Amino acid sequence: DAKTTQPPSMDCAEGRAANLPCNHSTISGNEYVYWYRQIHSQGPQYIIHGLKNNETNEMASLIITEDRKSSTLILPHATLRDTAVYYCIVRVKKGGGSYIPTFGRGTSLIVHP
């Protein structure tokens, strides 16, 4: 699986958009970008994933650059409950080949009032 690079920490004002970047310059053509978050002392929570098109769901939007070497997770209106560690991982889907998801250390997002 490709490695990812994320800033160790970010902060955001409540109600504003939080934009979390992720670099994955060695991503392969069949690897997807997944985002999870982990609120303190809880198990990680799936947020969104994509291959090459931008994706949106009720939690967030995922913007993937055209060359697929980087992506941005957007929380459009951050709340205090969005304070968490956000993990960006890239990997093939099941059945697509070697499957060892690597979470790394993620970005610690702090949303302040």
Partner 1 sequence: EAGVTQSPTHLIKTRGQQATLRCSPISGHTSVYWYQQALGLGLQFLLWYDEGEERNRGNFPPRFSGRQFPNYSSELNVNALELEDSALYLCASSSPGLADEQFFGPGTRLTVL
Q: Does 57 bind partner 1 (CB under 8 A)?
A: no
Q: Does 53 bind partner 1 (CB under 8 A)?
A: no
Q: Does 10 bind partner 1 (CB under 8 A)?
A: no
Binding residues among 19-48 for partner 1 as defined by CB under 8 A: 34, 36, 42-46
Across the chain, the runs of DSSP E, i.e. the strands, are 9-13, 18-23, 32-38, 45-50, 55-56, 61-64, 70-75, 84-91, 107-112
Q: Does 98 bind partner 1 (CB under 8 A)?
A: yes
Q: Does 93 bind partner 1 (CB under 8 A)?
A: yes
Q: Pick the closer one to partner 1 by CB: 10 or 14.
A: 10
Residue 82 CB, shortest distance to partner 1, in Å, is 17
CB atoms within 10 A of CB 31: 20
* Cα angle value 15/107/56 (rounded, 5°): 55
Q: Does 56 bind partner 1 (CB under 8 A)?
A: no
Q: Which of 10, 14, 49, 55 binds partner 1 (CB under 8 A)?
A: 49
Contacts with partner 1, residue ranges (CB under 8 A):
34, 36, 42-46, 49, 87, 93-96, 98-106
